[in-house]
Structure 1
Amino acid sequence: MGAYAESYRRSIEDPEGFWLQQADAIDWFTRPRSAHSTEPAGSGDVDRWFADGVLNTSYNALDRHVIGGRGEQPALIFHSEVTGRRRSFSYADLLERVGKLGGALTALGVGKGDGVVIYLPMIPEAVIAMLACARIGAVHSVVFGGFAPAELAKRIDDAQPVVIISAAYGLEADRVIAYKPMLDTALELSEHQPRHCVIVPRNDHADAPVVEMSEPRDLDLAALMRDARIEPAVPVEVAATDPLYILYTSGTTGKPKGIVRDNGGHAVALSYAMRSIFDVGPGEVMFTASDVGWVVGHSFIAYAPLLVGATTVLYEGKPVSALRQAQDTAGGQAQDAGAFWRVVAEHGVRVLFTAPTAIRAIRKVDPDGEAIAASDLSTLQTLFLAGERLDPDTYRWADDQLGVPVVDHWWQTETGWPIVANLRGLEPMPIKPGSSTVPVPGYQVAILDEHGTPVPVGAEGAICLRRPLPPGTLTGVWGDPQRFVTGYLETYPGYYLTGDGGYLDDDGYLFVMGRTDDVINVAGHRLSTGQLEAVLATHPAVAECAVIGVADPLKGQLPRGLVVIKSGVEIDHDQLRDELVALVRQEIGAIASLRRIDAVPALPKTRSGKVLRKTMREIADGQHTQVPSTIEDPSVIDGLRPILTQ
C-alpha cells in the first residue's frame, strides 16, 4: 500500500488518531485530547474539531518561527506590478507590525470575539490586519477590495464590525480606485456603524485622491502605528472552535452568506495541506496569484505559507497588463504576458498557484510562450490551478510551455482547502487531463443520483462529501445556523452537498464537470457543459469558451457556445463555427445538438475568474437576472446581451 492509500485509509477508518497526529504540527497552549465531536445547529448538527484545544493562529504563523530562530527569514514579499515596488518583510518585521496593529485595535475597543471588516487592496497591510485580528481573538471579515458600496454595506450590517480597516485608494493598471469614498457611501447605506474606521494612507501614485477624514470616527493607520503609547498585543488564547474569520460567498437569497472558519481545524488542515499537497516547507517560496478577498487568498497567501514557516508572495496586479510605452502591430496597446514569470524569477518561487483563467489570459496574448522562454524559471517545481474547471487544452499548453507538473485541484470557499488533489508532498500521482486526481485524506467523496443513491463508476451525478467533514471546513453560516443545515446538509442526509456535478473513474480519479445547474437536458439526454467546453477548447483558434443551455420548445434545452479567439489568430467566424460544430459531433455525437456558436470579445467573469454561465443563460431565456456583485467588468455583460437575445 502506497503512502497516499495508507494515509487515506487511516483518515477514514481512524479519523480521531489521524487528525490528532496532524495536530502535532501546531503549537497549542492546551493540546487537544480529542479530535472530532458534533454540536447542535438549527434542525441538525455540525462537525467540530479539537473542541478542548486552545491556541492562537497568529502565534503559530509568526511567534513560533521567530522563537525557533527564523526571525530574519523573509515571511512576506510584496510585489506590485502596478507601481514597480518590491518590499520584503522578515518574520521578525511582520511580528512587530502585527503586534503593534493588534495593540492599536485593542486600544480602540476591539476584544475577543468582536468583528473587524477589512476592505483593502492587495497591499501588505491586508495580511497584517488579518493576522492582527487573529492575534487578539477578533473575527475578521475581508471584503474584496473595490466592492461596490451597496454590497459592502450589506456585509457591514451582517458582520457588525467594531472597526473597519480600509485604504485611501487601490490601483489597477492605470486606474485609481478610491476606496475611502466608497466606504463613506457604504456607511451611509448601512444601519450598523463601527466605532472607528482605520485608513491606510497610500502615496505611491501621482493621481492619488484627496482623502477626507471624518473625526473622531476616522483614524490614520500610520499615525496609530507611530503612537508610542500603544503596547504590542500578545497572542490571546482562543478555543480551537472559536471563529477566526467570516468570508462571504454568493447566496441565492440576496442576503450575504458568511462562511465561518474556526481557528484550530483551520490551522491543522492548512499545515497538512502545505506538507502533503503543495510540498512547501520552511524557507521555500509560494506565490499564490489570487486576492485576499477570496478563500484562496485567505488560505494560501495569508495563512498556510506562514503556518509552515515558508515565504509568501503578495502580488498587486493582473496576469496580463498593458505596456504603457509600446504599441502592437495593429496600432493598439501591446500586452505584457510576463508578469507572473518575473515574480517567479525574481523571488525564487517554488510553487505557483493561480486560476486557469489567468493561464488562458496569458496564453491568449503569448500563445508561443515567448515570455516563459525568456524567464529563468529554474526554481519552479509545480503549477497548481484551481477555482474553475481546468480544461485539458489549457493544461496541455501550460504543461508543454513550463515543463513542470501542472496540478489541477478542486475545492470551495466552504471547505477552505482542497477536497481533491494530486498530493505532491505525499505521493505524486500520474496526471489525467480533466481530472483533479483523488480525494485528499479526510474527504469521503460520493457521486449520488437525485434519490441519494450512489451511481456506478463513470456515471455522472451530484458530488457529495460523506460526513464528518474534515478539519478546516466551514463550521456554519454567520448568524444563521439553520441556513448551513438547509443549504448544505438536508438534501442528502449524512452528506454535504457541494453543488458540483461529476464522476469518478476506475482509478478513483474525480472529474468535476461544473455546477449541477450547468447540466443541459436535451430531449431527455443530460449533457455537461464542461464536457462540451472541453471539446471546444481543443480548437487551435479558441482561447477560452463557455457553453450554456437555453430553453427550446421542442427539446427542452439546446446548448449554445461562446468562444473567445486567441490574439493574432485570423479566422472567419462562420468557418470557426462550422469547425467547432463538426468537432463536437465527432467527439460527443449529434445528440449534443450544438449548432449555435458565437465568437465574442470576452466572457463575463467574477473577480475570482468564474464564468457567469447562469447569468448568461437567464439573459438568453429572457428572464430577469441580477448580475452578481462579484462581476469583474459589467460592460462585458452589456456587450453580450444583443448576442444572447438573438
Structure 2
Amino acid sequence: MSDQSTPSQTEQTLANLLKEDRRFEPPAALAAEANVKADAYDEAAADSDAFWATQAERLSWDKKWDQVLDWSNAPFAKWFVGGTLNASYNCVDRHVEAGNGDKVAIHWVGEPVDDTRDITYAQLKDEVSQAANALTDLGVGTGDRVAIYMPMIPEAIVAMLACARLGAPHTVVFGGFSADALASRIDDCGAKVVVTADGGYRRGAPSALKPAVDEARTKTDKVEKVLVVRRTGQDLGENGWDDAVDVWWHDAVGSASTEHACEAFDSEHPLYVMYTSGTTGKPKGILHTTGGYLTGAAYTHNAVFDLKPETDVYWCTADIGWVTGHSYIVYGPLANGVTQVLYEGTPDSPERGRWWQIIADYKVTLFYTAPTAIRSFMKQGPDVPDRFDMSSLRILGSVGEPINPEAYVWYRHVIGGDRTPVVDTWWQTETGAVMISPLPGVTAGKPGSAMTAIPGISADVVDDEGNSVPNGSGGYLVVTKPWPSMLRTIWGDDDRYVDTYWSRFRKQGFYFAGDGAKKDTDGDIWVLGRVDDVMNVSGHRLSTTEIESALVSHPKVAESAVVGATDPDTGQAVVAYVILREEAGDGGPEIVKELSDHVRREIGPIAKPREIMIVPELPKTRSGKIMRRLLRDVAEKREIGDTQTLADASIMDLISAGQSTSTED
C-alpha cells in the first residue's frame, strides 16, 4: 500500500454512519475465571518487552533468548534474539512428555458420513516423526522448501509439523488453486518437494489434486519429488504417475521409524512462506519465522478464546491453505495442547446441518468461522441449526472480514443461544496472529466492531499525515509498534516488503495494514475494509462495508456485496448485489425499491445504490472472500477477469446473465 495518491480519508471520508447501541456484557462466570483480565492491558503498556517475554515462556526453549526485541534495523525485526527452539516439539513432543500422550489432539471428520479418526498426541508425534524421516530420505534438509497442496486431512497437519521439525520452511497452497497458481508459488520459493493427495472430497464427490501437481511440474523445474497421500483412491490416469518422482505416503511414511530427534533452530529461522495476493499480480510470499510467530499464535489463541485446554473442544473451520489454518488450527492450538475438530468438507454436505451436527457430536465449546459462512446460514433461517443441541458452545469467533452487526447478532442468538461472547477478530496473513479483538472475559461486545487492540498490540487509526484521529473519525488502520508474530519480509524481495507495508508512514515507523477504519465515540475500532474498497460518489467517500451492513440489516437480506462503478455524472456510483433470505421470495422491483429506501434511511441519499441486482450467490474464493473485482467487471459491463481462484466460477455466468434494476427515482 505504497501508493501515495490515495485520496484523503479524514473525518468526512471514512465515517461509518451506522449507529450501534447494542452491548453484550461478558458472562459473569466466564469473566471471573478468564485467562486474561483487564489489568493485562496496563501490564503490556507499562513494559512491552517484559510482557512478551512472559508470553514466550509458554513455549519450551532449548536455549533462552538474550534480547526480547532487536528493532535496530527497522522495519526488519528480530524477536527473542539468540533463543533456539523447535516448533514441532512445542506442538507435539512436549505434551507427550508431560503425560498427555493419550489425550486426543484431533477429532478428524471426513466429508463422507462416518469417515472419522481420533488422533492422540502420542499418535501424532509418531506420525510426524515418520514423516520427518521420510522427507529426509527424499532429500529435504534444513532450509529446503516444501510445498503442501492438500485437502483437509490429518496428513496435511503432519506434513507441516514434519517440515517444522526439520527446519524446512513450508508453503501451503490452498487445494482449490489452479496448476498455474501452484507452479508460480513453487517457483518463487524454490520448493524441491511437493506433498499432496490423489484428491479430497467436496460436496459429496472426489475432487482431484494430483493432476494439478503434475501440470504444475511442467511449468517449473524446481520439483524433485512428490509425496502423495491416497485419500480418494481415484484413478490418476495413464500418465498420472512417474516412478522417478512420485512416492506414495503410505509407503514412504508408513515404513519410516517413529523415532526422530528434534533439532533446535534459531528463533528467527524461517518457519513458513504464505502467499497472498499482490496488486502487481505477482503473489507476495509472506515470511514468518519461528519463535516470535509461535509465541504470538499460542498467546492469542489462549487469550482471545479464553482457552481451557483440559476441558475445551475447539473448532476452527478454516482451511490450512490460509493463514487462519496455520495460526488457529496448527500452531496455536497444538502448541497449547488442546483437543480440536478438523473437518474435511463443506458446511452443507451431505445436508445443511452438517456443521451443527459436528458441534453436537463432539461437544464443541469454542467455534471460529467466517462472516460469509454466517450470512449463508442466515439465508437458510434458524430452522436447521435449531434442530441440534449446541449448548456446549461457550465462545464464538469471527474471522476474515468485518462482520455485519445483524450477522453478529444472529450468530450470537441462533448459534450461541444468547449466552456466548462473540470475538470479532481483526488480523492478516502479514500479522500472523490476532491483533484487534474483544477479550471474552473483559469486553462488552459491540456488534460489528473489533473493539480494541489486544494486550501487547499497539494499533491506531490515523489521518493522511499519520496523526491519530479523534473519536468519531475515520482514517487508516496502522500498527504503531513491532509485535512478535509480524512478517519478517516478502520472500526474496526486501524492497517490496518495505515499500508495501512501511513506506506510507515511514516517518512515524507505522505498519500500514491497507485497511480503512473508524473510531466510534467510545474509541472502539470499526474496520471498514480495504481502502481500495472505498468509493468516491460525488466527492463523498463511502465505504462498501457500511452500505453492505445497511443492506444486511434489512430483514429480507441474507448477504450483500457493494462495488463502485464508473459513472459519468457522479464519478462513481453504488452498485449492490443482494442475496435474499429464503422466506423473502425471488425479488422484484418492489423489493429493490424497499432496499434502496432502506439504505437511504440508514445512511443517507448519497449512499442510495444506482442499481441493485438480486443474485443467487456471490463470487467467492474457497476461503469465503468476496471477489469484488469481478463484480466491478459486471457493473461496468467489461469482460469478466480471471476466475481461477473462485470456489465456483459458474456463479459469474449467473450474475452476468441476471437483470440489474435501476433505483433512480
**Could you state the TM-score of these two structures normalised by the residue count of structure 2?**
0.90
Paired residue for 1:450?
464
Distance 1:345 1:593, change over 3 A: closer
Q: Distance in 2 between matches of 1:444 and 1:344?
A: 35
User: What are the within-5 Å matches in structure 2 for residues 158-557 of structure 1?
Assistant: 158-190=188-220, 192-203=221-232, 209=236, 212-227=240-255, 230=257, 232-283=259-310, 284-321=312-349, 323=350, 336-365=351-380, 367=381, 369-401=382-414, 402-403=416-417, 404-424=420-440, 427-468=441-482, 470-493=483-506, 494-557=509-572
Q: Distance in 1 between matches of 2:254 and 2:533?
A: 53
Q: Distance in 1 between matches of 2:530 and 2:630?
A: 13
Secondary structure in structure 1 of the residue aligned to 2:253 = helix
Q: Distance in 2 between matches of 1:476 and 1:287?
A: 30
Q: Distance in 2 between matches of 1:482 and 1:63?
A: 38
User: Kindly, what percent of the aligned residue pairs are identical?
Assistant: 39
Contact 2:427 2:433 in 1 (8 A): yes
The one-letter amino acid of 1:32's match is W
Secondary structure in structure 2 of the residue aligned to 1:18 = helix
Secondary structure in structure 2 of the residue aligned to 1:467 = coil
- Cα deviation code 1:59-106 (max 9, x no counterpart): 011111101010000001111133431100000000000001001111
Q: Distance in 2 between matches of 1:374 and 1:222?
A: 40
Contact 2:614 2:660 in 1 (8 A): no
Q: 1:35 aligns with which of 44, 64, 68?
A: 68
The one-letter amino acid of 2:295's match is V
CA RMSD of aligned residues (A): 2.0
Contact 1:49 1:264 in 2 (8 A): yes
Unaligned runs of 5+ in 1: 324-335
Secondary structure in structure 1 of the residue aligned to 2:57 = helix
Deviation at 1:634, TM superposition (A): 1.5
The one-letter amino acid of 2:632's match is R
Contact 1:119 1:165 in 2 (8 A): yes
Q: Distance in 1 between matches of 2:607 and 2:580?
A: 22
Q: Distance in 2 between matches of 1:152 and 1:645?
A: 36
Paired residue for 2:645?
630
Paired residue for 2:55?
22
Secondary structure in structure 1 of the residue aligned to 2:260 = coil
Deviation at 1:615, TM superposition (A): 2.9
Q: Distance in 2 between matches of 1:644 and 1:465?
A: 43
Q: 1:598 aligns with which of 602, 605, 613?
A: 613
Contact 2:111 2:202 in 1 (8 A): no
2:109 aligned with 1:79, yes or no?
A: yes
When the two structures are aligned, how many residues end up with a matched partner? 620
Paired residue for 2:11?
none
Secondary structure in structure 1 of the residue aligned to 2:384 = helix
Q: Distance in 2 between matches of 1:45 and 1:473?
A: 10
The one-letter amino acid of 2:344's match is E
Contact 2:551 2:557 in 1 (8 A): yes
Distance 1:170 1:572, change over 3 A: closer
Deviation at 1:456, TM superposition (A): 2.1
- Cα deviation code 1:97-152 (max 9, x no counterpart): 00010011112221111101001111110000001111111101100013111111
Contact 2:140 2:193 in 1 (8 A): yes
Distance 1:224 1:572, change over 3 A: closer
The one-letter amino acid of 1:537's match is V
Deviation at 1:576, TM superposition (A): 1.0
Q: Distance in 2 between matches of 1:226 and 1:527?
A: 57
Distance 1:477 1:539, change over 3 A: same
- Cα deviation code 1:478-510 (max 9, x no counterpart): 111111111000011111111111111233311
Q: Distance in 2 between matches of 1:537 and 1:363?
A: 10
Paired residue for 1:333?
none
Q: Distance in 1 between matches of 2:659 and 2:487?
A: 37
The one-letter amino acid of 2:348's match is V
Contact 1:407 1:421 in 2 (8 A): yes
Deviation at 1:557, TM superposition (A): 1.0
Contact 1:169 1:180 in 2 (8 A): yes
Contact 2:472 2:523 in 1 (8 A): no
Secondary structure in structure 1 of the residue aligned to 2:129 = helix
Deviation at 1:277, TM superposition (A): 0.8
Distance 1:629 1:484, change over 3 A: farther
Q: Distance in 1 between matches of 2:512 and 2:645?
A: 23
The one-letter amino acid of 2:229's match is V
Which shifted more, 171-180 or 486-495?
171-180
Q: Distance in 2 between matches of 1:158 and 1:626?
A: 24
- Cα deviation code 1:587-613 (max 9, x no counterpart): 111122324211011111111111112
Q: Distance in 2 between matches of 1:444 and 1:122?
A: 34
Contact 2:70 2:79 in 1 (8 A): yes
Contact 2:145 2:193 in 1 (8 A): yes
Paired residue for 2:144?
114
Q: Which has the higher contact order (CA 8 A, sep 6+)?
A: 2
The one-letter amino acid of 1:384's match is G
Distance 1:572 1:173, change over 3 A: closer
Paired residue for 2:75?
45
Q: Distance in 2 between matches of 1:253 and 1:624?
A: 20
Secondary structure in structure 2 of the residue aligned to 1:46 = coil
Q: Distance in 1 between matches of 2:145 and 2:612?
A: 48
Secondary structure in structure 1 of the residue aligned to 2:218 = helix
Contact 1:136 1:234 in 2 (8 A): no
Secondary structure in structure 2 of the residue aligned to 1:359 = helix
Distance 1:481 1:624, change over 3 A: farther
- Cα deviation code 1:184-216 (max 9, x no counterpart): 0110012x332211111124x6x6555832012
Q: Distance in 2 between matches of 1:543 and 1:75?
A: 36
Contact 2:518 2:527 in 1 (8 A): yes
Paired residue for 2:97?
67
Paired residue for 1:332?
none
Paired residue for 1:327?
none
Q: Distance in 1 between matches of 2:190 and 2:543?
A: 41
Q: Distance in 1 between matches of 2:607 and 2:404?
A: 18
Paired residue for 1:330?
none
- Cα deviation code 1:261-282 (max 9, x no counterpart): 1110111111211221111132
- Cα deviation code 1:350-398 (max 9, x no counterpart): 1010101111222222x1x233222222221111011012101111112
**Could you state the TM-score of these two structures normalised by the residue count of structure 1?**
0.92
